[in-house]
A and B are shown apart, each in its own frame.
Chain A
Amino acid sequence: MTVEPRLADQNAAVVLPEPFVKWFGQKGWSPRAHQIELLAKAQAGQSVLLIAPTGAGKTLAGFLPSLTELAVRPRRKPGQARRGIHTLYISPLKALAVDIERNLGKPVEEIGLPVTIETRTGDTPAHKRQRQKLAPPDILLTTPEQLALLIAAGDARRFFEDLRYVVLDELHSLVTSKRGHLLALGLARLRGFVPGLQTIGLSATVAEPDELRRWLVSQNPSGGMAELITVTGGTKPEISILDSEERVPWAGHSARYATPEIYREIKRHKTTLLFVNTRSQAELLFQELWRVNEDTLPIALHHGSLDVAQRRRVEKAMSENALRAIVATSTLDLGIDWGDVDLVVHVGAPKGASRLAQRIGRANHRMDEPSKAILIPANRFEVLECRAALDANYLGAQDTPPLVDGGLDVLAQHVLGCACGAPFRADDLYDEVRTAAPYAGLDRPTFDRVVDFVATGGYALKNYERYARIRLNKDGLWRVSNPRVAQQYRLNVGTIIEVPALNVRYVKAGSKGSASHGGRVLGKIEEAFLETLTHGDTFMFAGKVLRFEGIRENECFVSNAPGSDAKVPYYGGGKFPLSTYLAEQVRIMLDDPQRWKQLPEQVADWLRFQAEKSVLPKRDDLLIETFPRGNRRYLVAYPFEGRLAHQTLGMLLTRRLDRAGARPLGFVATDYALAIWSLGDMGAMFKAGKPSLGALFDQDMLGDDLEAWLADSWLLKRTFRNCALISGLIEKRHPGQEKSGRQVTVSTDLIYDVLRSHEPDHILLQATRADAAAGLLDVSRLADMLSRIQGRIMHKNLEQISPLAVPIMLEIGRMPVNGEADEELLMDAATLVEEAMGPGMVDE
């Protein structure tokens, strides 16, 4: 970056109060240009978006307007009313708020400012929260959920009346989720309380800064935006792809082949941060590294399922530079700063160029030194992806996901929250809600349906009027109908839905946990995975090989399993799809033999073989190969659109192929390709135009076929559960009782079935479909692809499998199957019984 100290000094004299100038002087620093620029804009009354790489002094910049203002604020005279919150800081992570408290406390103390700073998170004890209500700090560091709670309190308007600034950290990661929707609505409410409120957004680099600039301000027809300050540069990271001497595997995600080479790099560096994409990869890599760890280097493990105490221990050791390597997942992704990391190793493909940039930013958290990173592709397609990501990083390309319209389930939660705070007039709340960016386009009928939903469930059958949660009174105001409603709201606020998970607790081998209390808790593991285990099965968790002893209530009992033959936990969450941008880069690379020279020889050879035996797809084309193998026929397509979109495509294509008489048997999808197998000769069918590939891949599959498939899909049920919980239809928590995940799952599935058959247009089903289309199904991406490939489908009817098809063919039977073919499994089990007991009547 280019700091111009002289300019900064001049500005500093203008807007920086004396104690600050002195403090900078004592430190031998000068304020950076962007810090001064931000201060000047804020002092001019504007909201600001600061985009800067890590290490650019973003935090101090964000707080400078508040600190300088608080520094010169006259002291409160005795007898004068207490002042409210001056600045609200909101971050996506509790840990980040705590980190900031530490980092900000230092300059405040050194400058000698009369400023109080406190955090308020889910971990803050009740008595402290109570005290904060009576004697608020000047600066409150908190999370979106806590903001929602503060707004829903009866004294909210008074509590926030002195608010001047809201600082939003890691804004790029906040805005893309439902938490962002809730936060945007919260901001709109705050602006309602304090019209002159200014926002300061802090963000890493993003593709569309204007989206964030608009997000920060009140939406209006004239289209205002926050001011933008961009700090470019930092030194370019040194990134390389591991050019392994070992053979890069065709398929799989473990990157086990590279363990000795990774270990060698750890030995060469002070502290190495190893990022992987899933928790199971983290467990596996951790095990593999310890297997070769002859020097017993301190190597630690960090992921979101581990017990909090254990994570804190790792973080502490890291900040004290007591570790040589940490294997981590996205829990360490955001801008928390620890220790002297001098190497980032990224195992597996990064899946998105922006994510890669963010993770690499963790090494050498200083702008004047280049970060050093090594990418370790786990298979051959990942080699291509890593190469593309690497080029993208040098190009400064970004691919954060696009912002989507605000969820109606989140709106429902907010409407109830507003009613808990104070009675509202529908007209006013509608206007206020639309000042939030995600809800700018919300139409009035939809808003009214949401209010109706909050009141009585919004059903066509008007049966629940007498049980209404909020009621419209004669004065035109909506009020909560009884205090219990507000109490329930407070217990259920937020948009984060936990996957049902159980504590993992140590016990003695063979004890099944009965009676004995057992040992310590290692962390949490998804119920869905545990359900597939039988007593005695072994799996990897918390860096150990464990033996499954049994489940009791909401705990899973495990014992130490000597030896290393373990089933690895499979996590439903935590897998990112390949970004659109990276996918395109991979297609471009495939189409350009010149660029293959950058690739490892064995990978380049693989592509050359493909060119010889079949063909490589042109950058905007879709390659379809058909070939026989065994007694089956295979179709392999290479859209490179990510696993979610391919999964949806696979579901739809098998339906169509079934109708066309191809007798499809199954399919498998990866980030790069899709394979379908059938009894009928698909190659011959396409050649005869029955059906033609153009017709098979026609965009109309996103109409009725999609509807028909979705209706019964487990994907929609899972999405519905989230919407039901967020919207407050079902409670996450009820006073005095904690529902287990299963109880909630069962009942939302049943509710879904009943609602779908009786009122398919209900607003919650509408919200569910919109969510699923954007999330789990990636329908918009599939739609873009289908429109792109019109008239550009390249068909190769081959005698045998092509080199490019090998990786996906190896995935067949290896990937876990999700929810659709239950009946078949039941049949297998029942058949076993019949075989054993003879056919016909099962009798005594």
Chain B
Amino acid sequence: MNFSLARASLIAEADLVSIAGERAVCDSRGVLYFPEFRLLVVSDLHLEKGSSLARRGTLIPPYDTGATLLRLQAVISDYQPSVVISLGDSFHDGGGAERMHQSFRERLEALMAGRQWFWVAGNHDPEAPADLPGETVRELAIGSLLFRHEPSKVRVEGEISGHLHPCARIVQQGRSVRRRCFAGDGGRMIMPAFGAYTGSLNVLDRAYAGLFRLETLMAYMLGAQRIFAISHSMLRPG
């Protein structure tokens, strides 16, 4: 077995992307930050997925909500946004907010304090989360951008969505690497899922058919420290 120590990492210049002319920082932790609007966007938190599965007899560790909130806390404290958008499927099911452990609820409320917070409705959580502050909306327009949970079949320039949990796969030197990714063609962007237990779906899957202009499609794959921008031609299905 061969093993090579990782080379020194590149500088994170390439993490700046533009969507319909708006500039955003594409963070390797899976969030978007728009400096102009002091806006942080995060998608598919799927809070309380663990307890949702536990109800059906799969007793996976009850720490996913805590883990997800901890990571959210880290990005919020880095960017100090004045507006946060949670882009749908914030809770894994409608009862999630109610089931949430008191300590987690308190932590979430502390994160929300002093900022404008939007819950975009998702297919898992169409209703407003129980007893939590923040404003629940179906979609939201800011500047030339439009935020909604599910990408629309009819192309909308500036649309930023989630829902599909994109990941991408490359093969280099006979080896396969699969990572969550942002998928964007310059006109619209689909965000990776942020939640600790969320799975992912390859951007070449049929579910994405017709959503992107393939000639400019890029997968911004999440690395440990940085984003890796990979062009559509290098991506593999599966």
B-binding residues in A (CB < 8 A):
456-457, 459, 461, 463-464, 467, 469, 484-485, 488, 528, 530-532, 534, 551, 643, 647, 650-651, 654, 658, 664-669, 729-731, 743, 746-747, 750-751, 753-755, 757-759, 762, 812-813, 815-818, 820-830, 832-834, 836-837, 839-844
Is there a chain A Cβ closer than 8 Å to B153's Cβ? no
Interchain Cβ contacts under 8 Å between A and B, 29 examples: A457-B60, A459-B61, A461-B62, A461-B63, A463-B51, A463-B101, A467-B51, A467-B55, A484-B57, A531-B176, A551-B238, A654-B3, A654-B5, A667-B3, A668-B1, A750-B199, A754-B197, A759-B61, A816-B175, A817-B175, A823-B6, A825-B173, A826-B223, A827-B9, A828-B173, A829-B170, A841-B13, A842-B14, A843-B186
> B32-61: contact bitstring with A at CB < 8 Å (1 yes, 0 no)?
000000000000000000010011011111
Given contacts A833-B229, A834-B14, contact A531 B59 (CB under 8 A): no
Is there a chain A Cβ closer than 8 Å to B77's Cβ? no
Query: Top 5 A-B pairs ranked by shortest CB distance?
Result: A844-B186, A457-B59, A758-B63, A825-B172, A463-B62
Contact of A822 among B16, B63, B174, B177 (CB under 8 A): B177
A754 touches B63 (CB 8 A): yes
User: Given the complex, which residues of A lie within 8 Å of B7, measured CB to CB?
Assistant: 824, 827
A759 to B169, CA, bound (A): 31
- CB nearest neighbor in B for A481: B57
User: Given the complex, which residues of A lie within 8 Å of B54, measured CB to CB?
Assistant: 457, 463-464, 467
A746 touches B177 (CB 8 A): no
B230 touches A762 (CB 8 A): no
A817 touches B2 (CB 8 A): yes
> B195-233: contact bitstring with A at CB < 8 Å (1 yes, 0 no)?
011111000000000000000101001011000111100
A651 to B4, CA, bound (A): 10
B63 touches A759 (CB 8 A): yes
User: Given the complex, which residues of B lie within 8 Å of A840, measured CB to CB?
Assistant: 13-14
User: Given the complex, which residues of B lie within 8 Å of A841, measured CB to CB?
Assistant: 13-14, 16-18
A824 touches B62 (CB 8 A): no
User: Given the complex, which residues of B lie within 8 Å of A729, measured CB to CB?
Assistant: 58-60
B101 touches A844 (CB 8 A): no
B62 touches A830 (CB 8 A): no
How near does chain B come to A40, taking the closest CB pair, in angstroms? 51
User: Given the complex, which residues of B lie within 8 Å of A823, measured CB to CB?
Assistant: 6, 9, 223-224
For A485, A669, A751, A818, which residue has the most chain B Cβ atoms within 10 angstroms? A751
For A758, A815, A829, A837, which residue has the most chain B Cβ atoms within 10 angstroms? A829
A715 to B89, CA, bound (A): 32
User: Given the complex, which residues of A lie within 8 Å of B172, measured CB to CB?
Assistant: 825-826, 828-829
A643 to B17, CA, bound (A): 45
> B81-102: contact bitstring with A at CB < 8 Å (1 yes, 0 no)?
0000000000000000000010
Contact of A825 among B9, B60, B175 (CB under 8 A): B175
B3 touches A747 (CB 8 A): no
A658 touches B170 (CB 8 A): no
Contact of A833 among B4, B6, B173, B234 (CB under 8 A): B234
How near does chain B come to A490, taking the closest CB pair, in angstroms? 13
Given contacts A463-B62, A754-B197, contact A832 B2 (CB under 8 A): no
How near does chain B come to A701, taking the closest CB pair, in angstroms? 16
Given A651-B3, A844-B187, 7 more contacts at CB 8 Å? A484-B57, A485-B57, A666-B4, A757-B63, A813-B2, A827-B7, A843-B186
A840 to B229, CA, bound (A): 11
A759 to B61, CA, bound (A): 9
A839 to B13, CA, bound (A): 9
User: Given the complex, which residues of B lie within 8 Å of A836, measured CB to CB?
Assistant: 231
How near does chain B come to A674, taking the closest CB pair, in angstroms? 10
How near does chain A come to B71, taking the closest CB pair, in angstroms? 11
For A532, A664, A823, which residue has the most chain B Cβ atoms within 10 angstroms? A823
Contact of A754 among B3, B61, B221 (CB under 8 A): B61
Is there a chain A Cβ closer than 8 Å to B114's Cβ? no
B60 touches A826 (CB 8 A): no
- CB nearest neighbor in B for A644: B1
A812 touches B2 (CB 8 A): yes
Is there a chain A Cβ closer than 8 Å to B105's Cβ? no
Contact of A747 among B170, B197, B234 (CB under 8 A): B197
How near does chain A come to B45, taking the closest CB pair, in angstroms? 14
User: Given the complex, which residues of A lie within 8 Å of B122, measured CB to CB?
Assistant: none
- CB nearest neighbor in A for B230: A829
User: Given the complex, which residues of A lie within 8 Å of B74, measured CB to CB?
Assistant: none
- CB nearest neighbor in A for B61: A755
How near does chain B come to A154, taking the closest CB pair, in angstroms? 19
Is there a chain A Cβ closer than 8 Å to B148's Cβ? no
A669 to B18, CA, bound (A): 46
B177 touches A825 (CB 8 A): yes
Given contacts A531-B171, A531-B238, A844-B18, contact A469 B59 (CB under 8 A): yes
How near does chain A come to B47, taking the closest CB pair, in angstroms? 13
Is there a chain A Cβ closer than 8 Å to B67's Cβ? yes
Is there a chain A Cβ closer than 8 Å to B124's Cβ? no
Contact of A842 among B171, B175, B229 (CB under 8 A): B229
How near does chain B come to A268, taking the closest CB pair, in angstroms? 40
User: Given the complex, which residues of A lie within 8 Å of B229, measured CB to CB?
Assistant: 830, 833-834, 842
Is there a chain A Cβ closer than 8 Å to B162's Cβ? no
- CB nearest neighbor in B for A670: B1
For A665, A758, A830, which residue has the most chain B Cβ atoms within 10 angstroms? A830
Is there a chain A Cβ closer than 8 Å to B27's Cβ? no
B1 touches A817 (CB 8 A): yes
Is there a chain A Cβ closer than 8 Å to B138's Cβ? no
B57 touches A747 (CB 8 A): no
A834 to B66, CA, bound (A): 38
Given contacts A750-B197, A844-B18, A844-B186, contact A826 B234 (CB under 8 A): no
Is there a chain A Cβ closer than 8 Å to B143's Cβ? no
How near does chain B come to A340, taking the closest CB pair, in angstroms? 42
How near does chain A come to B48, taking the closest CB pair, in angstroms? 10
User: Given the complex, which residues of A lie within 8 Å of B237, measured CB to CB?
Assistant: 551
B197 touches A751 (CB 8 A): yes
User: Given the complex, which residues of B lie within 8 Å of A650, measured CB to CB?
Assistant: 1, 3
How near does chain B come to A469, taking the closest CB pair, in angstroms? 6
How near does chain A come to B30, taking the closest CB pair, in angstroms? 13
Instruction: Give chain B interface residues in 178-202, CB to chain A under 8 Å.
Output: 179, 185-187, 196-200
Instruction: Give chain B interface residues in 107-136, CB to chain A under 8 Å.
Output: none
B218 touches A842 (CB 8 A): yes
User: Given the complex, which residues of A lie within 8 Å of B171, measured CB to CB?
Assistant: 531-532, 534
B3 touches A762 (CB 8 A): no
- CB nearest neighbor in A for B16: A841
A246 to B143, CA, bound (A): 76
User: Given the complex, which residues of B lie within 8 Å of A665, measured CB to CB?
Assistant: 4-5
User: Given the complex, which residues of B lie within 8 Å of A654, measured CB to CB?
Assistant: 3, 5
B236 touches A830 (CB 8 A): no
How near does chain A come to B209, taking the closest CB pair, in angstroms? 14
Given contacts A824-B6, A827-B7, A843-B18, contact A747 B199 (CB under 8 A): yes
A829 touches B228 (CB 8 A): yes
Contact of A532 among B64, B175, B186, B224 (CB under 8 A): B175
Given contacts A467-B55, A817-B2, A842-B218, contact A833 B62 (CB under 8 A): no
A334 to B229, CA, bound (A): 52
Contact of A666 among B5, B64, B174, B179 (CB under 8 A): B5
A821 touches B3 (CB 8 A): yes
User: Given the complex, which residues of B lie within 8 Å of A837, measured CB to CB?
Assistant: 231
How near does chain B come to A654, taking the closest CB pair, in angstroms? 7
Given contacts A759-B63, A829-B234, A843-B18, contact A666 B2 (CB under 8 A): yes
- CB nearest neighbor in A for B169: A531
A815 to B173, CA, bound (A): 11
How near does chain B come to A752, taking the closest CB pair, in angstroms? 9
Instruction: Give chain B interface residues in 154-177, CB to chain A under 8 Å.
Output: 169-177
A587 to B188, CA, bound (A): 64
A456 touches B238 (CB 8 A): no
User: Given the complex, which residues of A lie within 8 Å of B238, measured CB to CB?
Assistant: 530-531, 551
A754 touches B174 (CB 8 A): no
User: Given the complex, which residues of B lie within 8 Å of A664, measured CB to CB?
Assistant: 5
